[in-house]
Structure 1
Amino acid sequence: MDDMEEIPKKVPRLGLRHLQAGLLFYGLAANTVLQLNVSVAVVAMTNGTTLNNSDPPPYKWSEEKKSYILSSYYWGCALAQFPAGYLCKRFGSKAVLFWGTLGSSLLSALTTYGVYVAGWKAYCAIRLLQGLCQVTWPCIHQHLANWCPTAERTRLGAFAYTGFDCGNVLAMYGAGMIASSSLGWPGISYSAAGLGLIWCGLWLLLGANKASEARFIGEAEKAYIVGDIQRSERKEPKKMEIPWKGIFTSVPVYALLCARCADSWGLTTMQTELPTYLSGVLKLDMESNAVFSALPFLLMWVMCYVYLIIADVLLRKKWMSLTTLRKTYTSIALWAPATIMLSLVFVGEGQKTLVLVLVTLSVGVSSAATIGSELNTIDLSPNHAGILAGLMSSFTNLMALLTPLVVGVLVTDPGQRSQWQVVFSLAAGVLFAGNVIFLIWGTAVTQPWNESKESRRELEPEEKPFQHTKLEIAADNSDGNVVGLKLNCTSP
């Protein structure tokens, strides 16, 4: 697959396809804030770090209860991803993503009241329902497949996915600053709800499932996108059966699944537990915690663009195949954090600056996964990218669900560095193993089951008119001085 084909001169360099990528960026950022601000909120609610004296007293929740709160979102999310892929395929990414984000935003607005009334159990229930509304990943994969021409797939896809990194920064830094302000921890949920609702309005007005359905697109851009996608799909019929057998017997799919699950384990460890680690081991106050919790994800966001520029050059100059690029970037995203996490095990408690540097680097370099493995579903099957993304997200969310529960068992006292050493060692082992599997069996080659059965069906014997015909070369007379050609047809 060549990811850097020529773009026609009449096509605008900045068009509606870029606006769609921008909307996906904002939508992913908003949904990430709705997902991750709980890790800061729980610290604020249990440590009493708000500045408003009228706020309710901090909640005395055990580490076990906090692990339930942190993981409950992923209970619903794991259940939602696979159906979300089907719904996206059936009804289009615009409707599914709109209703999912709207539901999650409204639930976020109800969080404060729910916690006041029923405590941590209500918080778990609300988070579970928000997880059921999380349909972002399958919809983004499908939307990108419908809007990204081959020549711009890596560029637009990687830009859209950096919304995740932006959301991480907003969730960590923004939530920490809000919690330490007069708004207190309730402000975290209200601000996230507002961010999501604003996006819903923009998406409803400007979003479109396909270029052929868009209201504000120019004819040249529409022809470019539709023509390119039709060529990549080999003019497949609009309604295609989902190749379940092909998907579930595909070795590259399982290799990608292992890489995605490993990445999810390592990243979720930092997303959900970093504020607790910084508060417990390094004894940081709320404002400092917010800064140093957000800094790794800020680096992750910046590195995403660095990786994108490098990948763009490598593909344009044809110095790397797409498969090699995916494996190289996945190796950076998994093995580099694994090495850094192992280093954290041996760093002493008095080396606070070195710990903060290592934590920042371990998260920052992992953004290579955006180009390395996250876009690989579109490589394997452009026609069924949403289905594959839903399948991947179901399992990665199971990893995200298990991570806080496992940490809750391993870490009974957040101030004990030795307990966190076990957490980091386990994460490093998972990251290392996931990349080994992807290096061996991963690929960026589009799989045969991406096409319809009609396109893959071989001709039957009666449809092969020259099946029983062969060309013979033989001597034409007894002395062998003349060579003759004879067409021998045994078909009737």
Structure 2
Amino acid sequence: MKERSETESDENHDNFDKESVPWWSSCRLALAVLGFFGFVNVYALRVNMSVAIVCMVNQTAIRLKDAKVGSNETQISSSSQCGFIEAKNASNGTGTDMKDGEFEWNKSVQGVILGSFFWGYLLTQIPGGWLATKIGGKRVFGYSMLGATIATFLTPFAAQTHYIFLIVLRVIVGITSGVCYPSMHALWGAWAPPLERSKLAAFTYAGSQVGNVITFPLAGLLCKYGFAGGWPSIFYILGILSFVWLVLWMIFVSDSPAQHRRITKAERHYIQHALKDSVKSDGDKKLDVPWLRMAVSMPVIAILVANITTDWGTYTLLTSIPTYMNEVLKLDISANGLFSALPYIVFWAMINVSGWMADFIMAKGCCTIVIARKSFTIAGMLLPAALLIGLGYVDCTQPGVAIALLILGVATTGFQYSGWIVNHMDVAPAFAGILFGITNSIAAVTGFLSPYVVGVITDVQQDISKQDQSREQWQIVFYIAGGFYIFGAVFYGIFASGEIQPWARDEVAAAVEEELLHGTELQVKASENNINGIAENQI
């Protein structure tokens, strides 16, 4: 009886002291930290191939094949004004002054390898969101990363066996990684109070950019100096780090505040009170998903369009920056890895700054949720569009300008993390995981289309004697990405919303009403049993 009265007191007490709710020692901040490192690993396993493939491929052999010259002819390509020598004597097999890899994969094959991750990635977005909604995000995230880690360990063996085997493993990494964002969204739907969503989600997802920051230079160094032949060590080391994180995640994370064993009463009550109208407080995941009403909701469609258009630009850069550094800026693999990481260092900072900024201005009443979401989304699309288009007109004689534009172009997309990315939790907190799974699943198609299109556009085999041809082709790549960004910004600015949608509120209200009714029935039965027990004792 005492335990029940304490529980009832927790549930009915609305006038709690917010100052007593911990922040720095809170379980929601601990979840953000573990989620942050989780996404460091998600992206490390995701982008490692973008750098590794540069030193896995025999660039000299590919260029000589593309030049279509006789085996006894001497081909001297016009070296660019930056002094990068394309090829030397074909008859004696002399290569470039850069270290070549062991695989003779042409640009089309490389594009398929880089894009194959997304074939699997799009398959599990919706199932991952649905599963996380039903059983919780902790296990879905954890077990999926176990699968990605195993596939990463097997990658060197697969590449040395056949590139088809490598493609299959990259698809598996994509399949297992596809559930990570939806499952984390489901967790934050149950953990993040509305006025803390931006900074908690932004901090967590900023781990993806730190994953880029770490992986690009680390992979570049391991290509040159790593064990097991260089590039294989990339996959071994990153696999080990991912496994260490997995152990910590499974020990310390819970699906909801109600299920957490170390959370304080004040923090649990604060979170449950803040989310009382949007999620169920008991951690039960048995909610009916309003599929049809969700599909025709314009705020949801606005998020979907923003997701698709953003992903085209993001995936273009994510998979192609090392290649761009190599072909246009003529940087060797060590400098390539370092400079490829620089944009994501600023990107990480921008994500966190924008998250705190968005929550601050909303808490101060400076703007509504919808104005904040639209403003940050539009800024995170139009600024990158302009900067990337400008990047296409910079050549290898201006590496500083190119890197500065690249840094700003990638970094300013970080505003979107306080825009459409967190908007799922605004319009449907209880279904945030599955909603993110739907939009990100459809948008993931751009993940394998974009690298393939880049590979086709930037294939220089037509005339390698034109030193500016590669830069002109990359201009086309950046114009396409900019066009996607601009369209997405306009559409989202018109149709986005910051309010909980009626279909999401109705389902939660019905579920809560059913719980209350069920609880009343249990109380009536308990009372009847008590009365019968008293009567029997009296007799």
Please say whether Structure 1 and Structure 2 have the same fold, judged by a TM-score greater than 0.5: yes
| Equivalent-residue separation in structure 1 for 2:302 and 2:212 (angstroms) | 27
Q: Given the alignment of the two structures, is residue 43 of structure 1 paired with residue 86 of structure 2, yes or no?
A: no
2:211 alignment partner in structure 1:
167
SS state at 1:423 partner: helix
C-alpha change, 1:395 and 1:355, in structure 2 (3 Å) is same
Other-structure match for 2:171? 128
- The answer to whether the Cα contact below 8 Å between 1:7 and 1:151 also exists between their aligned partners in 2 is no
Are 1:341 and 2:385 counterparts?
Answer: no
Could you state the TM-score of these two structures normalised by the residue count of structure 2?
0.79
Q: Map residues 199-278 of structure 1 onto 2, 5 A cutoff.
A: 199-233=245-279, 239-278=286-325
Deviation at residue 454 of structure 1 after TM alignment: 8.4
Displacement of 1:348 in angstroms is 4.3
The question of 1:26 aligning with 2:37 is answered: yes
**Shift of residue 312 of structure 1?**
3.2
- SS of aligned partner of 1:168: helix
Residue aligning to 1:416: 470
2:57 corresponds to 1:13: no
Paired AA for residue 11 in structure 1: V
Mapped contact 2:119–2:171 kept (Cα < 8 A): yes
1:331 aligns with 2:378: yes
Task: Assess if the C-alpha contact under 8 Å between 2:387 and 2:405 holds in 1.
Answer: yes
In percent, how many aligned pairs have the same letter? 32
Give structure 1 stretches of 5+ with no counterpart.
50-54, 458-492
C-alpha change, 1:131 and 1:7, in structure 2 (3 Å) is farther
| Offset from partner CA, 1:22-81 (integer Å, 9 cap, x none) | 1111111101111111100100111589xxxxx995211100000010000000010111
Gap change, CA 1:360 and 1:56, over 3 Å in 2: closer
**Structure 1 stretches (4+) deviating beyond 6 angstroms?**
234-237
Shift of 1:274: 0.6
Equivalent residue, structure 1, for 2:440: 393
* 8 Å CA contact retained: 1:41, 1:175: yes
| Distance in 2 separating the partners of 1:269 and 1:67 | 11
1:367 paired with 2:414, answer yes
Aligned to 2:465: none
TM-score (norm 1): 0.87
Shift in alpha-carbon separation, 1:288–1:8, aligned structure 2, 3 A: same
Report the counterpart of residue 126 of structure 2 in structure 1: 82
Query: In the alignment, is residue 177 of structure 1 matched against residue 188 of structure 2?
Result: no
User: In the alignment, residue 129 of structure 1 is paired with which amino acid?
Assistant: I
Secondary structure of 1:230's match? coil
Contact persistence 1:380–1:445 (CA under 8 A) = yes
Match of 2:485 among 408, 431, 434: 431
Report whether the alignment pairs 1:441 with 2:495.
yes
Report how many residues are paired.
447
1:45 to 1:217, Cα distance in 2 relative to 1, 3 A: same
For residues 355-389 of structure 1, the C-alpha deviation after alignment (integer angstroms, 9 at most, x for no partner) is 11111111011111111111010011001001101
Mark the CA change 1:57 to 1:177 in structure 2 (over 3 Å): closer, same or farther.
closer
Q: 1:67 aligns with which of 91, 111, 131?
A: 111
Q: Aligned-pair distance for 1:244? A: 0.5
Structure 2 residue 196 is the aligned partner of structure 1 residue 142 = no
Does the CA contact (< 8 Å) of 2:131 and 2:140 recur in 1? yes
Tell me the distance in 1 between the aligned counterparts of 2:55 and 2:481: 26
In structure 2, how many angstroms separate the alpha carbons of the residues matched to 1:107 and 1:452? Answer: 42
CA distance in 2, matches of 1:319, 1:69: 47
The C-alpha deviation readout for 1:389-442, integer Å capped at 9, x for no partner, is 100110121111210111121111297111111101111111100110000101
Asked if the contact 1:240/1:452 (under 8 Å) is kept, the reply is no
The one-letter code sitting in structure 1 at the alignment partner of 2:190 is N
Cα distance in structure 1, aligned partners of 2:35 and 2:342: 23
Amino acid at match of 1:312: D
Aligned to 2:140, what secondary structure does the other structure show? helix
Provide structure 2 residue ranges, at least 5 long, that are not aligned to the other structure. Answer: 1-14, 61-98, 462-468, 512-539
Name the SS of the counterpart of 2:275 in structure 1.
Answer: helix
Question: How far off its partner does 1:350 sit?
Answer: 2.7
Counterpart of 2:402, as a letter, is: V
Q: Per-residue deviation at 1:161?
A: 1.3
- 2:426/2:499 contact within 8 Å kept: yes
From the superposition, tell whether residues 80 and 233 of structure 1 become closer, same or farther in structure 2 (CA, over 3 Å).
closer
Deviation of 1:451 (Å):
2.3
Q: CA deviation at 1:302?
A: 1.4
Note if contact 1:6-1:151 (Cα within 8 Å) is conserved in structure 2: no
Following the alignment from structure 2 to structure 1, what is the Cα–Cα distance between the partners of residues 394 and 100? Answer: 38
Name the structure 2 match of 1:101. Answer: 145
The CA RMSD measured in Å over matched residues stands at: 2.2
What is the deviation of 1:197? Answer: 0.5
Match of 1:450 in 2: 504
CA contact (8 A) 2:199 2:352 kept: no
Do the aligned partners of 2:194 and 2:274 also contact (CA within 8 Å) in 1?
Answer: yes
Greater Cα shift, 77-86 or 237-246: 237-246
Letter of the 1:128 partner, please give it.
V
Partner of 1:215: helix, strand, or coil? Answer: coil
1:199 deviation in Å? 1.1
Q: Which residue of 1 aligns with 2:102?
A: 58
